[in-house]
Structure 1
């Protein structure tokens, strides 16, 4: 078995021919049934973008860790790195953000950081498409990239394609709905370093937090209307996806306002902690939203008039507005 690299250290060989290097972050938890397919898809990625895999196990009781360590041995020296801390189970959000901070702290040169779920299958051009979009931006521009997904069942049989993106992802609309699915997200290093400076609220997800930090700071969240992975839908999905706007609206109605309003309140409060990274417009929007969450009907109506404060679909926007008016975190 290839020994795990100590936290904070890695051996990183220069990529051939000056290729960009993407650090892939993978948090595993009882994923033995699906991990082999995902790991094989990493090996099948098209040439032109080099990758290094950083992973940690979040307390699996199946053979996930053994599968990953066998893959480390096959992948070759310096290609795959196990991050051993923290030594307890912390949940997907904390696990992914720990991996992100770990890679950002390394004294190594990476061009981008990608999140990967254990139960998906990446298409060969996934990293190529992401890098082609990110590298076209001005140097230092905070940016992330996300795509649609080909929805499949547990046996990878097609179920449809996830909903199309609106033409632009922006703030404060990012507070109403997470449209950036984590398994598709690739961050440039400016965005990765910015997110690494922050702590996500306890209620929330790592992908949504990245989306919020990028857009609230004036960065770009680039969208690709083409699917770049097979997004497996099964009973163990942490979140899952719905293929139609109507299905998403129905799901929102079933969940009710309580959980959503609690998350909205937590994310609003946490973003306001990082006043130094917010654009003036984002700071104003957050102050108005917080006043509405805590205030009377007049303050709620003022908040709902904020430009861009809407969800992706008409019915979902109506549901959000109703929840904001009557819901309590």
Structure 2
């Protein structure tokens, strides 16, 4: 097996971090090293990590890149700093990994050609702050692929493991836009490049929902659709536009089919509704659940003035200042 590198991003995680670190030690049939980056914690998180490295004797190394980077920035810096030629497992500070998580991920990636970008992810056992079970994350009802990745992320970052070819692909592409997350960007690039993807229906971890998660989840596709409707279109449309903007210069890394899909949807929000409907049908974009799909169609077919998203930092609305 290629060496396995666990990439842990932390920020003021001292409350839950010890349980996560203990769950790493409990991994069966998987040899791993730990690479972590702390984003300026003030609660003793770095001391916990240093004590863990001394106590366990594990290969553990801090990535001491200056400045605040947020969760996405920390994970991308960790991926760039990790040694070449391995497997790369992203790790949140507040979950608990089940003992077979890493072994299952490595076994799945070992079945895929090493030269082809490959991505593994899994279902999660949802728990509350005290680790009491609250349900399971929903299973995808439709295949993972680029036409799904353009409008929905079904790859939960704390379950995500990449092979070396996928790592090289992600690092060769432009950085992800503000407002998105590293897992969605990896899903877009690996699926768009024709990579192999494995969604494991067996939960690999206890995914703690405690009210302060950077990203949370819902236990059903219907509730996801209702939550999306309640949030409104602005944030989704801004992230959608940011992805399209960053994917354009990454086009040489994508398959011909993905480039054709990208060309169809890149100007989507600036077009008349009839042309948008025509392009949507040709592009075949889809979300996993019927409720989510219905919300998506409403948002993408809104009148042109309403469909232009409010800007997130670093993202310009289509047709606005700074757009290309």
In the alignment, is the contact (CA less than 8 A) between 2:261 and 2:283 conserved in 1?
Answer: no
Taking the TM superposition and a 5 Å limit, the aligned residue runs for 1:161-200 are 161-198=136-173, 199-200=175-176
2:47 corresponds in structure 1 to: 66
Cα drift, residue 277 of structure 1: 0.3
**Separation (CA, whole Å) in 1 of partners of 2:283 and 2:268:** 15
Aligned to 1:258: 234
- Whether 2:245 is the aligned partner of 1:269: answer yes
Q: Which runs of 4+ in 1 moved over 4 A?
A: none
In the alignment, what sits opposite 1:25? 7
Instruction: Provide Cα deviations, 1:234-285, integer angstroms capped at 9, x if missing partner.
Output: 0110111100112111110111011101110110111111121011111111
Q: How does 1:229-268 map to 2 (within 5 A)?
A: 229-268=205-244
User: Following the alignment from structure 2 to structure 1, what is the Cα–Cα distance between the partners of residues 284 and 72?
Assistant: 27
Is 2:103 the counterpart of 1:124?
no
Whether the 8 Å contact between 1:165 and 1:225 is mirrored in structure 2 is no
Name the SS for the 1:286 alignment partner.
helix
Quote the residue 2:117 is aligned against: 142
| Alignment match, 2:314 | none
Matched length: 304
Number of the residue aligned with 1:98? 77
Alpha-carbon distance in structure 2 between the residues aligned to 1:286 and 1:72:
45
Tell me the SS of whatever aligns to 2:166: helix
CA distance in 2, matches of 1:109, 1:211: 20
The Cα offsets for residues 182-203 of structure 1, whole Å up to 9 and x where unpaired, read as 0000001100111112211112
Gaps of 5+ in 1: 1-18
Maintained 8 Å contact 2:5/2:32: yes
User: Is contact 1:134-1:145 (8 Å) kept?
Assistant: yes
**CA offset at residue 75 of structure 1?**
2.5
Q: Is the 8 A contact 1:115 1:186 kept in 2?
A: yes
- Given the two structures, how large is their TM-score scaled by the length of structure 2? 0.91
Indicate conservation of the 8 Å contact 2:24/2:97, yes or no: yes
CA contact (8 A) 1:152 1:159 kept: yes
What's the counterpart of residue 53 of structure 1?
Answer: 34
SS at match of 1:222: strand
Q: 14, 18, 22: which one pairs with 1:36?
A: 18
Once the two structures are overlaid, the 10-residue window that deviates more, 116-125 or 58-67, is 58-67
**1:167 offset after TM fit, Å?**
4.8
Q: Which stretch of structure 1 is more off in the superposition, 308-317 or 225-234?
A: 308-317
How many angstroms does 1:76 deviate by? 1.4
Determine which of 70, 77, 84 is the counterpart of 2:64: 84
Rounded Cα–Cα distance in structure 2 between residues aligned with 1:96 and 1:152 = 24
Q: Structure 2: state its 5+ residue gaps.
A: 310-324
Deviation at 1:308, TM superposition (A): 3.9
Does the C-alpha gap of structure 1 residues 95 and 202 become closer, same or farther in structure 2, counting only changes over 3 Å? same
1:8 aligns to what? none
Match of 2:318 in 1: none
Contact 2:226 2:291 in 1 (8 A): no
- Let me know the Cα RMSD of the aligned residues: 1.2
C-alpha separation in 2, matches of 1:82 and 1:38: 17
Hey, what's the Cα distance between the residues in 1 that align with 2:56 and 2:263? 49
